Amino acid sequence: MIALTLGELARIVDGELAPGTDPAITVTGPAFLDSREIVPGGLFAAFDGEQADGHDYASSAIEAGAAAMLGSRDAGVPGVLVPDVEAALGRLAREVLLRLTGTTVIALTGSSGKTSTKDMLGQVLSGHGPTVFTEGSFNNEKGLPLTVLRADQDTKFLVLEMGARGIGHIKYLCELAPPRVGLVLNIGSAHAGEFGSKEQTALAKGELIEALPPEGLAVLNADDPYVAEMEVRTVAETITFGEHPSARVRAEDVELDQNGCPSFTLVLSAADASLSRAEPDLADAASARVALQVVGEHHVSNALAVAAVCLGVGMSVPEVAAGLAAARALSGGRMAVTARPDGVVVIDDAYNANPESVRAGLKALVTLARSRPGARSWAVLGHMAELGDRSVEEHDAIGRLAVRLRIDRLVAVGAEAAMIHAGAGHEGSGGQETTLVADSDEAIALLREQLRPGDVVLVKASHSVGLRRVARALLEDPQ
Instruction: Answer whether residue 156 shows pLDDT above 60.
Output: yes
Backbone angles phi, psi at 204, to 5 degrees: -70, -45
258 and 359 fall within a common domain:
no
Encode pLDDT of 58-81 as tens digits: 999 999 999 999 999 999 999 999
pLDDT over threshold 60, residue 342: yes
Euclidean distance between CA atoms 225 and 186, whole angstroms: 9
pLDDT at 278 over 60: no
Q: Mapping DSSP to helix (H, G, I), strand (E, B) and coil, where does residue 184 land?
A: strand
Confidence of residue 431 (pLDDT cuts 50, 70, 90): low
For the ranges 3-7, 162-166, 215-219, 434-438, the lowest mean pLDDT is seen at: 162-166
Return the higher-pLDDT residue of 244 and 277. 244
Cβ 180 vs Cβ 212: under 8 Å:
yes
Q: What is the CATH number of the domain that holds 282?
A: 3.40.1190.10
CA 150 – CA 152 distance, rounded (Å): 7
* Residues 444 and 465 both lie in one domain: yes
Tell me the pLDDT band of 49, cut-offs 50, 70 and 90: confident
pLDDT confidence band for 137 (50 / 70 / 90): confident
Same domain for 272 and 359, yes or no, is no
What's the rounded Cα separation, in Å, for the pair 369 and 34?
Answer: 40
CATH number of the domain enclosing 51: 3.40.1390.10
Whether the pLDDT of residue 12 is over 60: the answer is yes
User: What pLDDT, on the 0 to 100 scale, is given for residue 271?
Assistant: 59
pLDDT greater than 50 at residue 475: yes
CA 401 to the chain's CA centroid: 25
Q: Which of 303, 326, 349 is the last residue of a domain?
A: 326
- Considering the domain boundaries, does residue 95 fall inside one? no
Burial of 284 (0-12, 13-18, 19+ CB in 10 A): exposed
Average pLDDT score over residue span 358-367? 92
Do 223 and 171 share a structural domain?
yes
Average pLDDT over residues 419-436: 87
In which domain, by residue range, is 191 found? 100-326
Average pLDDT over all residues of the chain:
91
Q: Which of 385, 398, 391 is nearest to 464 (CA)?
A: 385
| Domain end position, chosen among 289, 308, 326 | 326
Domain's final residue, options 326, 353, 373: 326
pLDDT of residue 270 exceeding 80: no
Q: Locate the DSSP E strands across 286-433.
A: 287-291, 336-339, 345-349, 377-381, 409-413
Alpha-carbon span 121 to 99, nearest angstrom: 24
Rounded CA gap, 266 and 289, in Å?
A: 6
Strand order in the sheet with 409-413: 336-339, 345-349, 456-460, 377-381, 409-413, 434-437
Which one, of 346, 340, 344, 306, lies nearest residue 322 by Cα?
A: 306
Q: What is the pLDDT of residues 374-401, one digit of tens each?
A: 999 999 999 998 888 889 999 999 999 9
Confidence category of residue 284, pLDDT binned at 50, 70, 90: very low
In whole angstroms, give the CA distance from residue 33 to residue 418. Answer: 38
H or E element in which residue 16 lies: strand 16-17
Q: Residue 332 pLDDT > 70, yes or no?
A: yes
State how many domains the chain has: 3
Q: How far apart are CA 79 and CA 76, in angstroms?
A: 9
Residue 93 inside a domain? The answer is no
Residue 90 counted as domain residue: no
CA dist 77 and 368 (Å) reads: 54
Helix ranges (DSSP H) in 214-298: 225-228
pLDDT at 430: 66
Contact 360, 296 (CB under 8 A): yes
Contact 101, 283 (CB under 8 A): no
What average pLDDT does the segment 286-306 reach?
A: 94
Instruction: Using alpha carbons, select from 416, 419, 417 the residue that is nearest to residue 400.
Output: 419
Q: Is the pLDDT of residue 432 over 80?
A: no
Percent of the chain with pLDDT over 70: 95
pLDDT score for 393: 94
Give the domain CATH number at 370.
3.90.190.20
Cα gap 35→38, rounded to integer Å:
8
- Predicted local distance difference test score (pLDDT) of residue 277: 44
DSSP for 389-410, please give it. GGHHHHHHHHHHHHHHTT-SEE
CA distance 264 to 247: 15
Contact 318, 353 (CB under 8 A): no
Residues 65 and 126 placed together within one structural domain of the fold: no
Same domain membership, residue 54 and residue 122: no
Residue 88 lies in a domain: no
pLDDT of residue 282: 40
Of 182, 214, 208, 148, nearest to 1 (Cα)? Answer: 148
Query: Is the pLDDT assigned to residue 283 strictly greater than 50?
Result: no
Give the pLDDT confidence score for residue 281 in this predicted structure: 43
